[in-house]
Amino acid sequence: MARSPYTNIGKKRFWKHGVENSDPLSLNGIHSPAWEIHATDTIVTMGSCFAQHIARWLRARSFNVPFYDTSENIKARHFSANYGNIYTVKQARQLVEEVLGRRECSEASWEAKNGFTDPLRPNVFAEPISDGDTVKSLRQQHLEAVRQALKNLDILVFTLGLTEAWRIKACQTVLPSAPGVVAGSYEPDRYEFVNFKYPEIMADLQGFCDAIREVREGADFKLLLTVSPVPLTATAVDRHVLQSSIYSKSVLRAVAGDFAEENNFADYFPSFEIVNNPAARSSFFEDNFRAVRSDSVETVMDLFSKAYFAMNADTPPPEQAPAPNALIGNEDVDCEEALLEGFSDARQTQTVSDKPILVIGNSHLAYVRMQMKDRGLNAYAEFAPLNFLRQSPIDEIEEFGFRRFLFKEKFPQFKDFTMEKPRVMVIAGWFLFGDNIIRAHGPIKSGFAGCTGRDITPELKPLKRPNRELVKLYTGILENRMKLIRRLEQLTAFERIYWIVAPDLTEATAEFRLGPGFVRGGYYPVYKNTYLKVFNKLKGELEKTEFILPRWEVLCGDSGFTKNEYAATTGLWDIHSSKEYFRESIDTLIKRLESHEGLMA
């Protein structure tokens, strides 16, 4: 029998088994780590937006990820010191060289709205600094904090983000964002654009590590490299942004991989590949194909955990706190690049509400609100449409207890508010049941003129009975959901949480999106009942949350989908049901609210 170099090399090395026929949520063998991570290791994180996810995940599981900087007047503890996003290796190297006293930026401060800020971390302060001298003083404190972080670390997690950057001509200092985006003002004679290439990035990465060892007086450390899967928002090169984005990520991936192969203290973890896996059909991204979905971050970190912690079973990662990012559907990290898409730093005047009921949700909230308004409940409730928020309440839950809500400026009809005396939270839709059963298999996209259902909807197989893959898929997703619901219970002051689950697609919409054969064949109840069975198994650990499930035998047909009489009226592609669908749910909710003494007095 003829042999070849590819005989008996393992299934994961063949595209058919490793990608085509694989489950993108559980990529067995995607990474063989060079070394292990112990729960006692001191971990420091640095890099681009995606590195923030890693820091939050580790801290949520009580790993030792200290914060060395001052907490006064800062937006968040996203990294180990308050340096903000560091997108390029050059910027990281210059920071450590500044700690060593070898370089100094020629521009100590920039004018910002109502004050000043640090050009090398322009988006980290909660409020502008009053004067430039104070900015300079704060930077010296910051550099000392960075020094302590570098001296104490055992493992540095560094996420490479971009090759494109802007720098100051006078001192060649690389900036985290272009002048004029967050603060300062762009002047061509003072600033220049640079697009770093492989040789310089590789040299900078080596120089970065050498400088860290110098700070550590020669002590060794481990370097865990990742590449951010988040594409460029815009490119300063005169070409299509897709070309620039692929170029940037390709170069960084090559640098990270080669550096890890050449240095045994370094390792490369393939978060970039996991998120961009073709088998996921872009489902790991939000509808803009740029922001990484929070449940996708959970997938990446689950694979990360299995790789680095399976090696040392004697020190498994603690599970004292659930993952913080599994809930927000449109959650986006604090990323300066997003400012190019219209994000504004302007702060609105917050109002303090003494209403006892908070109602939150995704797009289904609109129909719930109509029913609540008809019943006179609005007088007791504040509404927070999560799609319109400019911050993630989940990220702030330890500080504000899910009581503060800040709205995007493009929705002036909504005013920022803080709940003063919250007693009950009502959640509408928001990732449980309904269209989310289908979303588990890929993104459900908005409709457009001339589209076909298959253009905007993931494919569902005509199953006659549940299979192992379906149970595994729903279990993984719902386990993450339950972790975060428990976090809501533990870190908020609400007496009770009532969850009005999302409706299924209406039959006409389902036929348009999934095909009449799938709907009329009665295959959807297999999916729905499997989801419900897994849900009922996992919800038992919750203490303060009650789920208000509809009577599907009344609202839905034999197909398992919602009857067309409850359809919204905006088009065949509309995934929503009318407010009448929620009538029975609101009746149940009212009875529950009336059981709380003095709630609606």
Residue 354 burial by CB count (10 A; 0-12/13-18/19+): exposed, middle or buried? exposed
Predicted confidence band at 350 (pLDDT cuts at 50, 70, 90)? low
Q: Is the pLDDT assigned to residue 321 strictly greater than 50?
A: no
The one-letter code for the residue type at 356 is: P
CB atoms within 10 A of CB 194: 16
User: Cα–Cα distance between 242 and 232 in angstroms, integer?
Assistant: 8
Predicted pLDDT at 449: 65
pLDDT at residue 186 is higher than 70: yes
Enumerate helices (H) and strands (E) in the chain, giving the number of each.
18, 17
Q: Percent of the chain beyond pLDDT 70?
A: 92
pLDDT at 301: 85
Q: How far apart are CA 256 and CA 269, in angstroms?
A: 9
What's the order of all strands across the beta sheet hosting 266-268?
A: 43-47, 155-160, 222-227, 266-268
The token pair at 569 is: 């009226």
CATH class held by domain 362-377+423-593: alpha beta
Mean pLDDT over 432-452 rounds to 83
Please give the structure tokens belonging to residue 222.
Answer: 């481990």
Predicted pLDDT at 410 = 72
Tokens 């009942």 sit on residue: 529
Domain 40-315, CATH number (from 3.40.720, 3.90.1690, 3.40.50, 1.20.950): 3.40.50
Same fold, 40-315 and 362-377+423-593: yes
Mean pLDDT across the stretch 364-375?
88
What pLDDT shows up at residue 29? Answer: 82
In this structure, what DSSP letter does residue 48 have? S
Distances in Å between the Cα of 182 and the Cα atoms of 7, 122, 544 are 55, 6, 42
Cα angle 441, 26, 438 (rounded to 5 degrees) comes to 10
Q: What is the spatial distance between Cα 189 and Cα 206, in angstroms, rounded to a whole number?
A: 31
Over range 199-216, report the average pLDDT.
Answer: 97
User: Does an H or E element contain 404, and which?
Assistant: strand 404-405
Match 């979905």 to its residue by tokens: 293
pLDDT of residue 253: 97
Domain ranges in the chain? 40-315, 362-377+423-593
Give the number of other Cβ atoms within 10 Å of residue 103's Cβ.
Answer: 16
The C-alpha atoms of residue 566 and residue 505 are separated, in whole angstroms, by: 10
* Strand 43-47 versus strand 357-361 pairing type: unpaired
pLDDT at residue 343 is higher than 50: no
Confidence of residue 251 (pLDDT cuts 50, 70, 90): very high
Percent of the chain at pLDDT above 90? 51
Place of tokens 């995940």: 57
- Among 7-21, 248-262, 278-292, 470-484, name the most confident range: 248-262
pLDDT grade, residue 310 (50/70/90)? Answer: low
What is the maximum alpha-carbon separation in the chain?
A: 85
Instruction: Return the bridge partners of 383, or none.
Output: 359
Between CA 319 and CA 149 the distance in angstroms is 25
- Sign, CA dihedral 291-293-297-303, equals negative
pTM of the model: 0.57
pLDDT confidence of 514, banded at 50, 70, 90?
A: very high
Say how far residue 429 (Cα) sits from the centre of its chain.
19
**At 310, is the secondary structure helix, strand, or coil?**
coil
H-run or E-run covering 152: helix 132-152
Instruction: Kindly report the average pLDDT of the chain as a whole number.
Output: 86
